[in-house]
Amino acid sequence: MKTFSKIALLAILIMALAVVVAACAGGPQPTQKPAEKPAATEAPAQQPAATEAPKAEEPKLIKAAWVYVGPIGDGGWTYAHDQGRLYVEKHVPNVETTYIESVPEGADAERVIRDLAQKGYDVIFTTSFGYMDATETVAEEFPDTVFIHISGYKKNDTNFDNLFGRMYQMKYLAGVAAAMRSENGKIGYVAPFPIPEVIRHINMVAKGARSVNPDAEVQVVWINTWFDPPTEREAAETLLNAGNDVIVTGADTPGPVQAASEAGKWGLAYDSANACDNAGDGCIGVPHWNWGPAYAEIIEEVRNGTFKPKGRWPGVESGIVDFKFGPAATDEIKAKVTELKQAMIDGKFNPADGPINAQSGCLAVKEGETLTDEQLLSMKWFFEGVKGEIPEAQPPCQ
């Protein structure tokens, strides 16, 4: 009991100290105003002084916040989202932005999202699949705040929508490029989770690769994480040791491509436009995100009051997804990929078109038919040419 009172005293002292500290700092020192507000929110300098500008023309201030699953310096997924946020800062007038990085998917996410809503942010972008339920819960509590969840499938009728891009189109191009570069037709895929998004992307790599080399194979290693640099690299090394000579990654960092470059092989990175910059000479290219314009559009909708949840899934024609070449892209690869990309933009080619065989070789999508969005969004089966297993796969044909 004696020690208890000492500890109680200690705790009270610490708290008292902290209160005093807080009170002092909050008190008489206007010089120390929190000048370092979210550094990112440089007040828009071009904004005309309030007195001169006609009131009607000044757009309403919109405060937007982003919740990231990784650190903004991951060079991949989170970095790409943060580039989108910076795009908004640069191109959207009278907007204030902030972000919180490295928020674990789960119980912590709900706190962070609710906290942002409480702080009065008008739009909150939650940028990982695992934030879906937390976003839904908080969206219900704050009907006046707009919540945009990236990569999920839930939404409501008023203030909660999902946003993603048809990255599978670019993954098809990655498959084409991989098979053109590969010497043995063996491609390895570093795969995060067996969810439809990832399965779809693997499938499209296989389909793209087989369009070049009908014998090409895509071997899958599940790593069960989005962001874990050592695990990502190890998976790539495993795939390289198994004889694959092109590594395609679906995880957040360029580590797997670095590993391939170091082994004298090739790889395709993911997520951010400059992912090839630090991925060595073996980087063929990167299917990447370009979130900025989509974010800007949503923010303007919120400002104008025209926002409505609709399940947003734009493709390459909108620019939300794109493909950028790296140092290991040959001229033939560049020509072929550019041509295919243009065909997709023009609506002349759709990688979701049949015929498509399932892994077992049976015909899943007939010639002349196309995978529906519904089928793409709930995909639980592999295409022919994929070497790997989905837990509880649901093949469309036997």
Instruction: Enumerate binding residues for other proteins (CB under 8 A).
Output: 1, 3-4, 6-11, 13-15, 18, 21-22, 25-26, 32, 34, 36-40, 71, 98-108, 110-112, 114-116, 118-119, 129-130, 133, 141, 153, 193-196, 199, 224, 378, 380, 390-392
Q: Amino acid identity of 337?
A: V
Could you tell me which residues are beta bridge partners of residue 148? 125, 161
Tokens of 123: 């739009």
Helix H or strand E encompassing 187: strand 186-191
Helical segments of 263-354, H only: 292-304, 331-345
- For residue 124, the minimal CB distance to other proteins (Å) is 12
Exposed e or buried b per residue across 350-382, where buried means at least 16 C-beta atoms within 10 angstroms of its C-beta:
ebbeeebbbbeeeebbeeeeebeeebbeebbbb
Tokens of 334: 């560049």
- For residue 367, the minimal CB distance to other proteins (Å) is 29
Whole-angstrom distance, CA of residue 340 vs CA of residue 170: 10
The CA angle 146-92-127, to the nearest 5 degrees, is 45
What residues contact 24, with CB distance under 8 A and at least 6 apart?
none
Report the half-sphere exposure of 176 (CA within 13 A, side-chain side): 22
- For residue 125, the minimal CB distance to other proteins (Å) is 15
What residues contact 74, with CB distance under 8 A and at least 6 apart?
227, 252, 253
- For residue 15, the minimal CB distance to other proteins (Å) is 8
The gap from C-alpha 330 to its chain's centroid, in whole angstroms, comes to: 27
- For residue 29, the minimal CB distance to other proteins (Å) is 9
- For residue 68, the minimal CB distance to other proteins (Å) is 10
10 Å CB burial of residue 113 (0-12, 13-18, 19+) is buried
- For residue 348, the minimal CB distance to other proteins (Å) is 31
Among residues 99 and 189, whose Cβ is nearest to other proteins?
99
- For residue 248, the minimal CB distance to other proteins (Å) is 20
Helix H or strand E encompassing 357: strand 356-357
Note whether 255 and 225 are within 8 A (CB): no
Among residues 71 and 395, whose Cβ is nearest to other proteins?
71
- For residue 64, the minimal CB distance to other proteins (Å) is 13
10 Å CB burial of residue 297 (0-12, 13-18, 19+) is middle
Whole-angstrom distance, CA of residue 67 vs CA of residue 85: 11
Give backbone dihedrals phi and psi of 112, rounded to 5 degrees, phi first: -60, -45
- For residue 194, the minimal CB distance to other proteins (Å) is 5
